């Protein structure tokens, strides 16, 4: 399993529509499907003692078992639909990750959380609209083109792409003249950087007891190693973003959304390596889109700022487990990522790598599971070694359980209009 943390599970049921698949894609994808609406808003309960880390074989058992049922048959599925089961896990609010039963490879199905027979929309003041839980067919084609463009640049530099287009599903009912569709991508992994940071920071805070004022030896080692870990990931992300910019491509466009944030940085386990990639190119631009050099540079500069800003606390788009009730973001650790990102972006290194040793993350997971406290009460009069640490908290704030990403992005869109930016 290439994933690093647990996700809520879901199921995908057959529906009307059409599949357009590339050669060699498993026949399990030949029938369009959606996550039923009663599953879309469901947050599944987990035991309080489940830290949601995927480190040991037993951690994978439930998710692996769920995903491995894809391709099998049940009397219910045979009787009602005549097709095999397809089980998935959530990836954001509108997408699912499934496992190909023939190859065990992972695939992301983007835009499968809609009602295919009565799609709902979110419409903005200027008439721009999104399909709730889905996407427009033209966006599927657009993202395919722009992701394949960046994948070509990665290939020239010896980097494995995290996502590669393999096909699409189109659904039966038009939405304001637009065909709803889902894209099918073969993926290497799907753990998001902001998601992983939220787990590491929150679990570390659980081992830092209220009222204590200095780190234990275990705490000093953990926070030191986590800071270095964040910094090295930031360095890779900076190098990848510089590669994108130098190739004449943006990650996003101001007119619809900003995709430049750590929630679109994906990490995955590959044997002894932890690999890093960038995803979500459905708003990407290059010079074929009638954009000037100054406009390109302006968007890229803003994306740089967006990545830095996002490192200080944006939650993954899908609320997962107990993180729906609280988040912890250690500001000094996040600043290490930002420093690494800036250094990576300005680096003059000739070679490019998108991996670091997996053992480093495994050691952090082991420390979090050790049960040893990361802080203690300071007995000595000297304050030598005391750690001053700021952190951002969200605790039991019901209004922030699920970030309204559509409203947030539209707010960015409106602010750009007010500031006179061309959109």
* pLDDT above 70: residue 6: yes
C-alpha–C-alpha distance, residues 364 and 356, integer Å? 14
Stretch 7-13: mean pLDDT, rounded? 92
Sequence-distant (6+) residues with CB within 8 A of 119 are 131, 132, 134, 171, 173, 175, 180
Q: Which of 374, 371, 367, 309 is nearest to 338 (CA)?
A: 309
Query: Whose structure tokens read 């609320």?
Result: 319
pLDDT of residue 125: 74
User: Which ranges of 29-134 would DSSP assign to H, the alpha helix?
Assistant: 37-40, 57-68, 75-80
Q: Please give the DSSP secondary-structure letter assigned to residue 317.
A: S
Report pLDDT for 333: 95
Query: Is the pLDDT at 294 greater than 80, yes or no?
Result: yes
pLDDT given at position 76: 76
Q: What is the pLDDT of residue 314?
A: 63
Rounded to whole angstroms, how far apart are CA atoms 409 and 169?
26
pLDDT for res 92: 85
Cβ–Cβ under 8 Å, residues 317 and 403: yes
pLDDT at residue 408 greater than cutoff 50: no
Confidence label for 404 from pLDDT (cuts 50, 70 and 90): very low
Q: Which of 1-10, 100-109, 264-273 has the lowest mean pLDDT?
A: 1-10
Nearest to 374 by CA among 207, 213, 212, 210: 207
Average pLDDT score over the chain: 85
Contacts with 385 (C-beta within 8 Å, 6 or more apart), sequence order: 214, 215, 220
The structure tokens 């409203």 sit at 407
- Taking residues 391-415, what's their average pLDDT? 37
What pLDDT, on the 0 to 100 scale, is given for residue 420?
42
Identify the pLDDT of residue 407. Answer: 45
Rounded to whole angstroms, what are the CA distances from 165 to 30, 134, 144, 174? Answer: 15, 17, 6, 23
Helix, strand, or coil (residue 180): strand
Contact 338, 313 (CB under 8 A): no
For 258, residues 6+ apart whose C-beta sits below 8 A from its C-beta are 252, 302, 303, 306, 409, 412
Q: What is the pLDDT of residues 317-371, one digit of tens each?
A: 555 555 555 677 899 999 999 999 999 999 999 899 999 999 999 999 999 999 9
**Would the pLDDT of 422 be above 60?**
no
With left for phi above 0 and alpha for psi between -120 and 50, is residue 12 left, alpha or beta? beta
Q: Name the residue with higher pLDDT: 6 or 382.
A: 6
Q: Return the pLDDT at 384.
A: 39
Q: Crossing angle of helices 358-368/193-206, nearest 10°? A: 30
The H or E element that residue 279 is part of is none
């Amino acid at each position: 399993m290439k994933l690093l943390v647990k996700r809520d599970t879901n199921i995908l049921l057959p529906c009307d529509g059409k599949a357009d698949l590339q050669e060699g894609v498993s026949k399990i994808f030949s029938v369009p499907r959606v996550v039923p609406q009663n599953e879309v808003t469901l947050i599944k309960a987990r035991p309080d003692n489940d830290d949601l880390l995927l480190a040991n074989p037993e951690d994978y058992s439930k998710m692996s078992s769920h995903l491995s049922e894809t391709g099998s048959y049940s009397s219910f599925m045979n009787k009602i639909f005549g097709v095999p089961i397809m089980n998935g896990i959530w990836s954001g609010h509108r997408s699912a990750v499934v496992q190909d039963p023939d190859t065990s490879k992972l695939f992301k199905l983007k835009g499968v959380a809609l009602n295919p027979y009565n799609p709902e929309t979110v419409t903005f003041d200027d008439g721009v609209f999104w399909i709730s839980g889905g996407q427009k067919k033209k966006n599927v084609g657009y993202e395919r083109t722009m992701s394949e463009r960046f994948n070509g640049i990665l290939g020239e530099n010896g980097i494995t792409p995290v996502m590669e287009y393999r096909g699409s599903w189109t659904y039966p009912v038009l939405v304001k003249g637009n065909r709803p569709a889902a894209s099918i991508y073969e993926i290497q992994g799907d753990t998001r950087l902001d998601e992983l940071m939220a787990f590491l920071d929150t679990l570390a805070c659980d081992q830092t007891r209220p009222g204590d004022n200095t780190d234990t030896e275990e705490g000093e080692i953990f926070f030191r190693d986590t800071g270095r870990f964040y910094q090295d990931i930031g360095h890779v992300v900076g190098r990848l973003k510089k590669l994108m910019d130098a190739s004449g491509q943006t990650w996003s466009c101001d007119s619809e959304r900003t995709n430049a944030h750590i929630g679109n940085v994906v990490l995955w386990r590959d044997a002894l390596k932890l690999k890093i990639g960038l995803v979500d190119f459905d708003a990407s631009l290059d010079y074929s889109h009638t954009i000037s050099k100054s406009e390109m540079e302006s968007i890229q500069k803003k994306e740089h700022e967006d990545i830095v800003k996002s490192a200080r606390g944006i939650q993954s788009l899908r609320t997962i487990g107990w993180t729906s009730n609280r988040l912890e973001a250690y500001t000094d650790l996040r600043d290490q990522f930002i420093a690494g990102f800036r250094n990576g972006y300005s680096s003059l290194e000739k070679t490019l790598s998108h991996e670091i040793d997996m053992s480093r993350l495994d050691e952090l997971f082991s420390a979090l599971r050790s049960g040893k406290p990361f802080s203690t009460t300071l007995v000595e009069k000297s304050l030598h070694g005391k750690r001053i640490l700021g952190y951002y908290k969200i605790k039991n704030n019901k209004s922030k359980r699920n970030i309204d990403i559509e409203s947030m992005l539209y707010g960015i869109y409106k602010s750009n209009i007010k500031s006179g930016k061309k959109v």
